[in-house]
Chains A and B, each alone.
Chain A
Amino acid sequence: MSLVTVQLGQCGNQIGREVFNAICSDVHGTHGLCSKKENESYHDACKERFFIEAESGVPVARAVLVDMEPKVISQTLSIAAKSGYWKYDDHSHFCQKQGSGNNWANGYTVHGPRHKEAIMNLVQKEAEKCDRLGGFFTIMSMAGGTGSGLGAFVTQCLRDAFPSSFILNHVIWPYGTGEVIVQNYNSVLTLSHLYQSSDALLVHENDVIHKVCAQLMHMKQISFKDVNQVIAHQLGSVFQPTYTAEDGLHYSRNPLGDLMETLVPHPEFKMLGLRNIPQMPENSLAYSTFSWPGLIKHLRQMLIANAKMEEGIDWQVQPPRPGSSVPSSRSTNKLLHFNTSIANLVILRGKDTHSADLGSFRDPSLYTSWLNPQDAFSAWKTPRAFNKYEKSASLVSNSQFLLKPLDNVVRKAWNMFASKAYVHQYTKYGIEEEDFLDSFTALEQVISSYTIL
């Protein structure tokens, strides 16, 4: 079963390229640390999922590239082809001569409908090449111009054309002190539109990844490429093949479906956060050893305390004791520190995964009251190590991870909107104030649902 990736805008295309790079280098690496047979089935599953076998023998990525400018796309295509391990299909991209000037409304109401047919044709072609369409994986930034406006429109078109397929939107949350002054407007509009058409939103925050690069990877000059590589590594750790059942004989052939089913069946809770440990510079890998109990303990505390990485975790935060008097949701401890989860998915890759004990994740106090741990927690495993890490653990969590960032963005956007700043840029292209209000209402609803867990 195959995923079709739709790379939208500059951000989406650059990250998409890094993702395929990471996947390919993982597959071709010699650090699988498992049997040959295991390696082969891993290789086959990964190939089926992301690539098509071409006559030349070089696997072709199942992807559609969309951007308003030609520069980034041609860069992406050439860099990929240079690697020799994989490439993009030469025809599977769409671009225009001019940009959209960082204007969400322009992307959504003008460029979107204008180029809908061309883009959807490309997507349809990719979908038909799959024996089994496992879903769509779109990569975009939330706050830019092309990526966000056009991306929201394209997601809607995907939903209309493929009503029963799985759609996962990977969204890049902008820097808090970003350069684009209307980024909060863009974010609000994007999120509210995506919430309607998409099945799940997997979020990466630029600020967080930047810190990972600085503190964990010890990088001095952090470029976008570094940030993108970390993001690609984290995404790869989620989407590479795994066994989803305890005694599975085959690699799962339905990763998106399994993910959706375990994490986002409820239509109001679609925001997913991602954590991955360990994360360290490549040259330190050889000198480090890992143990599953240590990794799991850290991951769990990262979940509970809403920590962004494995350094600087607040170990004081603990789940509320069961049987204590039911606190109102305004109780300080619960609201400010403890991160309540709806559902969690832990993915373990590497040596001795069978010995890893995940009982601490099945603690009912971690989860909201209306869901029990059997329904809320799942674990996927594979003995095949990922990207040279002897052991690695990822957590995809539907929890209050993104509550604060979301609240911040909506608040800032509302403050701007209250004084009608820059709104004319949007009304010029047909996004009226009612549309803004609808978006605000929708996101307030999401915020409130997550708050009262």
Chain B
Amino acid sequence: MVRKGPGSAAGRAGAMPGGRALPGAVGALCRAMPPRARLVPEGLRRAKLDRPQATLDFWRLLYALLKQIHGGKWSEADAIDTQIRFVKLALWYQGYGRPELYRLPSDGSAGSRELLLAFSWLLHRISLLEQLLARNRVRTGDETSVCMCEDDLSQSEQGTTEIAPEYGPEDRVDVRYLQWLNGRLRFQWRSLHAQHQEQCKLLHKIHLLTSGSHVDQILGHFSVTEMDLIRQTENYKQLVQLLERETMQLEAFLEWKQLEPVYWQWMETVLDNMAEEGNMCKPQDAHIEKSSLPKVTSCCPWADSLTGQINKLSRDLMALRDQLHELVTHRKSAWEEKPAERRRLISLQRQFPAGPCEPVLLRVRGLGKEATSEMLELGDEAKSLGAHVKDDREGSPRALVVPSNEAVKCQIKIGWEINVTKTHLKGKS
């Protein structure tokens, strides 16, 4: 369950908490909406009661708002199922995880309460009103920007990320033609760069030449819009209209901000209603299976490429994991083929903290006279290879690293616990 809104758990006084304040809050909210997104207080009330008539309006409202957020082109005449699909995708992109919404029918016949929930979630989650107000400001023309748009080109979903596209024999393209196209692109980029520099230069000129003329002392110069107004004074009417509209929206927004807690209390009643009607589902993973995700369409190219990239990455990761797994099993099986040595080494590892390649300290008892001299020799040899040789009180070696067959030659009584292979003496330091 998703409980949103600044927590004001106190004061749940029934269907209309706050009494007079609620119509005020709702009214302010409706007035703060941007011009092309229509919302009426009655629509909110109907949605709370889950009336089907309110559903279409709510879908259209969400469509208009989300299109403005994402900066795409749209018109009211777009087909309703396109609108619904877009809204679902956009909500998915924003991270709305409530599955009931995605199961709503694409003809807009039911589900206004779900849409109300989604709308309120957006209001809070992505600061919907603030974003829209920022986007719809009257421009002064003084902004310059650097294009940071991502690569929107659709990418094929086949193949891993590294493999270059392969051309069949019929598709052969002369590389000189590609170089030609590349060169053209670079020249066009340079022209664009020059135009951009020109724009900055002219902007600077305007500011320079009008400095000191502005009413606002700190700013001191005119903006491009103001310059334009001086040259074409008949445009002032339009500008005044735009400014008045923006002022109204901002005032409504301020009003809304003050009355906002009332709205969230009311939303809580909506949630309670849903709980009572038993429509609540158990909390699920945020991850919804692919099958329930609406089909990707051209109306959301950025979502398209994003899901494509995510899929590709997850496939690459799976492939890498499989490869690693393979390597590991291969190594393991190669390892298994030498059981005897394995046992020795394993037991070495168990008994001695040092690795199997390090010279190992052995205790030896019961040496005969000949054995002693041979042991001395071996001891020297071992010393020269870095083995640690411990002598007993009489000076004969007690502990050293000894190859197994040499040990037999020495006829030393077995006092050591392990057999060490020849390879360990052969200079593996």
Q: Which residues of A contact B (CB under 8 A)?
A: 1, 131-134, 164-166, 254, 257, 260-261, 264-268, 369-371, 375
Contact = CB atoms under 8 A, between A and B. Distances in A.
A254 B191 CA distance: 8
B75 to A, nearest CB: 28
Interface in B179-228: 179-184, 186-188, 190-191, 193-195, 197-198, 201-202, 205
A165 B181 CA distance: 19
B180 A371 contact: yes
B180 A375 contact: yes
Contacts of A265: 179-184, 186-187
Contacts of B186: 265
Question: Which of A134, A165, A265 counts the most B-chain CB atoms under 10 A from its CB?
Answer: A265
A267 B202 CA distance: 33
Contact of B187 (A132, A257, A375): A257
A257 B184 contact: no
Contacts of A264: 183
Please list the 4 inter-chain residue pairs (A to B) with the smallest Cβ-Cβ separation, ordered nearest first: A265-B183, A370-B174, A132-B198, A257-B191
Contacts of A1: 194, 198
Contacts, number: 58
Contacts of A370: 174, 176-177, 180
Given A265-B186, A265-B187, 14 more contacts: A1-B194, A131-B198, A131-B205, A132-B194, A132-B197, A134-B194, A254-B194, A257-B194, A266-B176, A266-B183, A267-B179, A371-B176, A371-B177, A375-B180
Interface string B80-120: 00000000000000000000000000000000000000000
Contact of B190 (A165, A266, A375): A165
B176 A261 contact: no
B65 to A, nearest CB: 38
A131 B184 contact: no
12 contacts: A164-B190, A166-B190, A257-B191, A260-B187, A265-B179, A265-B181, A265-B182, A266-B180, A267-B179, A268-B179, A370-B174, A375-B180
A370 B198 CA distance: 36
B176 A267 contact: no
A375 B177 CA distance: 10
Contacts of A369: 174
A369 B176 CA distance: 10
A275 B363 CA distance: 101
A267 B174 CA distance: 15
B202 A131 contact: yes
Contact of B184 (A132, A164, A261): A261
A58 to B, nearest CB: 23
Contacts of B177: 370-371
Contacts of B182: 265
Contacts of A134: 194
Interface of B: 174, 176-177, 179-184, 186-188, 190-191, 193-195, 197-198, 201-202, 205
Nearest to A372: B177
Contacts of A375: 180
A35 B373 CA distance: 122
Main secondary structure of the interface of B (DSSP, over half): helix
B188 A261 contact: yes
A267 B194 contact: no
B174 A257 contact: no
Contacts of B176: 266, 370-371
Contacts of B197: 132-133
A191 to B, nearest CB: 20
A397 to B, nearest CB: 16
A375 B178 CA distance: 12
A261 B201 CA distance: 25
B69 to A, nearest CB: 35
A371 B183 CA distance: 14
Contacts of B193: 164
A264 B183 CA distance: 8
Nearest to B175: A370
Contact of A133 (B181, B187, B194, B205): B194
A134 B190 CA distance: 10
B147 to A, nearest CB: 15
A370 B186 CA distance: 20
Nearest to A128: B201
Nearest to B185: A265
A255 to B, nearest CB: 11
B369 to A, nearest CB: 80
B174 A261 contact: no
A267 B180 CA distance: 8
A441 to B, nearest CB: 20
A260 B188 CA distance: 9
A253 to B, nearest CB: 9
Contacts of B190: 164-166, 257
A167 to B, nearest CB: 11
Contacts of A261: 184, 187-188, 191
A281 B315 CA distance: 75
Given A254-B194, A257-B191, A131 B183 contact: no
Contacts of A132: 194-195, 197-198, 201
Nearest to B174: A370
Which of B174, B184, B202 has the most chain A CB atoms closer than 10 A to its own CB?
B184
A165 B194 contact: yes
B310 to A, nearest CB: 36
B326 to A, nearest CB: 45
Contacts of A266: 176, 179-180, 183
A371 B187 CA distance: 18
Contacts of A267: 179, 183
Contacts of A260: 187
A24 to B, nearest CB: 25
Highest count of chain A CB atoms <10 Å: which of B174, B183, B194? B194
A257 B190 CA distance: 8
Nearest to B182: A265
Contacts of A165: 190, 194
Nearest to B179: A266
Contacts of B184: 261, 265
A422 B80 CA distance: 83
Contacts of A254: 191, 194
B196 to A, nearest CB: 10
A112 B191 CA distance: 29
**A1, A132, A369 interface centre (most CB from chain B within 10 Å):** A132
A131 B181 CA distance: 29
A231 to B, nearest CB: 26
Nearest to B201: A131
A371 B178 CA distance: 10
A284 to B, nearest CB: 40
A370 B175 CA distance: 9
B211 to A, nearest CB: 19
Nearest to A376: B180
B72 to A, nearest CB: 29
Contacts of A268: 179
B174 to A, nearest CB: 4
Nearest to B195: A132
A264 B197 CA distance: 24
A134 B180 CA distance: 22
A257 B188 CA distance: 8
A33 to B, nearest CB: 31
A371 B197 CA distance: 33
A166 B189 CA distance: 12
A132 B197 CA distance: 7
A267 B187 CA distance: 12
Contacts of A164: 190, 193-194
